[in-house]
A and B are shown apart, each in its own frame.
Chain A
Amino acid sequence: MKIVGVAACTVGIAHTYIAQEKLENAAKKAGCEMKVETQGTIGIENELTQQEIDQADIVILAVDVKISGRERFDGKRIIQVPTEIAVKSPNKLIEKAQEVVAQKV
């Protein structure tokens, strides 16, 4: 399964990057491929390409603020949570994503 995501928090220096690491690690553990773009105080890093977005089975947005380029995900299945959730329960979040994808007809 392929997942793409975006992480962004208010100050953009702390939770953004922990959320990214935790999600990518949790996805790996669950046997999924995941790439998380970070929109922080540094700017956008690890930017998702349109191809990566098109190929993804699902999108996870771990965001506390409005993100730029949200329209890139139009028409995709999206799970949106605060960064807090991605930091505290990354494994559950990935499980949830797998369930949602499994339900897809």
Chain B
Amino acid sequence: MMNDNFFQVFLDQTFKNKAHVQRFIAEFANQTEAEELIALLQQREKVGNTMIAEHVILPHLESPKIEQSQVLLIRLAEPIDFDEKTPAVQLIITILLKSNESQGTKKKIAQFTRRLADDDFIDQLLSFEKEAEIYQIL
């Protein structure tokens, strides 16, 4: 539905804690500015819990340091506790939003986030075994 690399799916990841996940996200978004993006991720967490369903969190970032707006679906091989309020995280849906992004792209992201209100869609994202199957429903 969108340019090919808009959605990036990573299954069976073996991150052991929140810091690992945040580093992965930040480095994916911008290798050289990762520290700043990690700080942004931590800041967003303070504003409110990003858990949207059991086992699913939705961290999101907007920054001029983000090179390309993308949605990353990172699924862990084993669920991990992020913190007391965020137990057993298995799926991390990350929205990377470049500053001054076009309305068209923003609308596409919003359209995708609306779908996350649907429990069946979330179940599919949590359970499909192959990356190809997930790309197909995105």
Name A's B-contacting residues (CB within 8 A): 10-11, 13-18, 20-22, 25, 38, 40-42, 64, 82-84, 87-88
B117 touches A21 (CB 8 A): yes
Query: A-B pairs with the 9 shortest C-beta distances?
Result: A21-B117, A17-B113, A17-B114, A22-B117, A14-B60, A17-B110, A21-B114, A14-B113, A18-B117
Interfacial chain B residues near A82, Cβ < 8 Å? 48
In the complex, the number of residue pairs spanning A and B with C-beta atoms less than 8 Å apart equals: 68
A88 with B116: CB separation less than 8 A:
no
Task: Among A11, A64, A83, point to the contact of B60 (Cβ < 8 A).
Answer: A11
Residues A14 and B106 in contact in the complex (CB < 8 Å), given A20-B114, A21-B114, A64-B47? no
Binding site for A on B (CB under 8 A): 44, 47-52, 58, 60-62, 95, 97, 101, 103, 106-107, 109-110, 113-114, 116-118
Alpha-carbon gap, A40 to B62, bound state (A): 13
Q: Across the interface, which residues of B come within 8 angstroms of A25, CB to CB? A: 117
Enumerate chain A residues within 8 angstroms of B107, measured Cβ to Cβ.
Answer: 42
| Other-chain contact of B58, A14, A21, A22, A40 (Cβ < 8 Å) | A14
* Residue of chain A at shortest CB distance from B52: A87
Contact A13 B47 (CB under 8 A): no
Classify the interface of chain B: helix, strand, loop or mixed: mixed
Query: Of residues B51, B62, B107, B113, which shows the largest number of chain A Cβ atoms within 10 Å of its Cβ?
Result: B113
Measured in the bound complex, the distance between the Cα atoms of B116 and A75 in whole Å is 34
Q: A84 touching B48 by the CB < 8 A rule?
A: yes
Q: How far is the CA of A38 from the CA of B114 in the complex (A)?
A: 11
**Beyond A15-B48, A15-B58, 4 extra complex contacts between A and B, CB < 8 Å:** A13-B62, A13-B106, A14-B58, A88-B51
Closest to B94 in A: A14
B117-A64 in contact (CB<8A): no
Interface centre among A38, A41, A83 (most CB of B within 10 A): A41
